[in-house]
């Protein structure tokens, strides 16, 4: 299966598919925006677990992938202790799968090569609708607070002091599936500042948040839209210095990476994986060492229907439809 992107309504991109139609199909299998392979009988916007046991999978090796926002090697080590815990809880071998971009991660789950994942904020709706992703948790601080903000960065002396100054210049996005790297800034620039790509500024794509941040710090890009959770970790690791960057815009708080499983795992295996997230002891682990840089120290239970409502609204404002080939 090849994931494709198509320009919809100005700058917005979406993965496109011709969904099954017709009163019989809709009556037999309600699915909303889900791909035609899935059903959503309970109305929670997620693909239901198949009722036909022959459609359920129980792999000997579980494949886990973390959203490709930064160097995969860093995060393979960061997740090591959690994956050891996951092996103990499930009795399965667990392998970390480094992915290079959001589309590849979605395609891996859709094709059955990925079982457990953390998808970034903007990719969650695509993963849910196209790949049968069932998210159920996000990282949060010990007090229950969570999330991150989209910021637009420039560098000192760039000539950009406010958002309007981006007009006539170049702005780096990350990828069309990223919330803070594309979707949110596109909607905000259009609605609040009447700024459109191509017409008012030149859009470029860096591929990942760390590329955008480094690009601004090194003066390769005059400005970029990024997730400040990634920025915080990069500053903490001394990859960039605060004085190299200037923030000219900060958004409302968005939900962070959503973690979950593919829809067709056996229910008892799904439950073991779910329990592994919620009974994981963070203290002294490689996971806490990395993510406490953002103040995160627990997995918080959540629902896609509630927590991702703001992201679906942003997509709607951008003219994005969810679908796959």
Give the pLDDT mean for 271-277.
98
Query: Which is higher by pLDDT, 262 or 322?
Result: 262
Q: Choose among 82, 77, 74, 70: nearest CA to 116.
A: 82
Contact 35, 1 (CB under 8 A): no
Give the span between the Cα atoms of 185 and 203, in whole angstroms: 12
Spatial neighbors of 236 by CB under 8 A, at least 6 apart, are 293
* Domains of the chain as residue ranges with CATH: 5-144+255-317 (3.40.190.10), 148-254 (3.40.190.10)
Give the span between the Cα atoms of 3 and 317, in whole angstroms: 22
Tracing tokens 């099954």 back to the chain, one arrives at 20
49-101 per-position pLDDT tens digit? 999 999 999 999 999 999 886 677 788 999 999 999 999 999 999 999 998 88
Instruction: Quote the longest CA-to-CA distance of the chain.
Output: 62
Backbone angles phi, psi at 250, to 5 degrees: -135, 130
Rounded mean pLDDT of the chain? 89
pLDDT, position 317: 84
Backbone angles phi, psi at 155, to 5 degrees: -120, 155
- DSSP class of residue 10? T
Give the span between the Cα atoms of 203 and 182, in whole angstroms: 10
Backbone angles phi, psi at 133, to 5 degrees: -70, 135
Q: Choose among 132, 136, 137, 135: nearest CA to 39.
A: 132
C-alpha angle 135-140-145 in degrees, rounded to nearest 5:
120
33-45 per-position pLDDT tens digit? 999 999 999 999 9
104-131 per-position pLDDT tens digit? 999 999 999 999 999 999 999 999 999 9
> What are the CA-CA distances from residue 299 to residues 108, 136, 146, 291, 292 (Å)?
24, 10, 10, 11, 12
Give the span between the Cα atoms of 114 and 231, in whole angstroms: 28
DSSP 211-268: HHHHHHHTTSSSEEEEEHHHHHHHHHTTSS-GGG-EEEEEEEEE---EEEEETTB-HH
- Of all residues in the chain, the percent with pLDDT exceeding 70 is 90
Give the span between the Cα atoms of 69 and 147, in whole angstroms: 16
Which of these ranges, 19-33, 91-105, 206-220, 228-242, has the smallest mean pLDDT? 19-33
Q: For residue 245, is pLDDT > 90?
A: yes
pLDDT, position 321: 79
Contact 70, 206 (CB under 8 A): no
Give the span between the Cα atoms of 135 and 303, in whole angstroms: 7
Q: Supply 239's token pair.
A: 């990859």
Helix (H) or strand (E) holding 190: helix 184-193
Tell me the pLDDT band of 325, cut-offs 50, 70 and 90: low
- DSSP class of residue 51? S
């Amino acid at each position: 299966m090849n994931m494709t992107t198509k320009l919809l309504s100005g700058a917005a991109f979406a993965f496109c598919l011709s969904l099954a139609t017709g009163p019989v199909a809709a009556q037999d299998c309600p699915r909303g925006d889900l791909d035609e392979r899935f059903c959503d009988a309970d109305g929670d916007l997620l693909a239901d677990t198949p009722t036909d046991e022959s459609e359920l999978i129980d792999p000997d090796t579980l494949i886990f992938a973390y959203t490709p926002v930064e160097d995969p090697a860093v995060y393979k080590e960061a997740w090591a202790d959690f994956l050891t815990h996951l092996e103990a809880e499930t009795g399965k071998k667990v392998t970390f799968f480094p992915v290079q971009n959001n589309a590849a991660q979605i395609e891996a789950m859709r094709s059955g090569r990925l079982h457990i994942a953390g998808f970034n904020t903007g990719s969650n709706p695509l993963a849910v609708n196209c790949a049968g992703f069932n998210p159920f948790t996000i990282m949060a601080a010990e007090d229950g607070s969570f999330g991150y903000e989209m910021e637009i960065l420039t560098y000192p002396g760039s000539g950009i002091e406010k958002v309007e100054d981006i007009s006539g210049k170049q702005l780096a996005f990350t990828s069309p599936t990223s919330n803070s790297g594309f979707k949110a800034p596109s909607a905000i620039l259009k609605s609040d500042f009447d700024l459109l790509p191509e017409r008012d500024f030149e859009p470029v794509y860096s591929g990942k948040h760390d590329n955008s941040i480094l690009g601004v710090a090194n003066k390769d890009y005059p400005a970029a839209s990024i997730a400040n959770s990634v920025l915080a970790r990069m500053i903490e690791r001394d990859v960039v210095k605060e004085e190299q960057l200037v923030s000219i815009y900060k958004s409302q708080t968005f939900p962070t990476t959503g973690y979950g499983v593919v829809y067709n795992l056996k229910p008892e295996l799904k439950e073991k994986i779910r329990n592994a997230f919620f009974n994981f002891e963070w203290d002294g682990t490689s996971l806490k060492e990395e993510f406490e840089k953002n103040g995160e120290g627990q997995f918080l239970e959540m629902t896609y229907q509630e927590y991702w409502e703001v992201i679906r609204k942003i997509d709607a404002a951008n003219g994005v439809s969810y679908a796959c080939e």
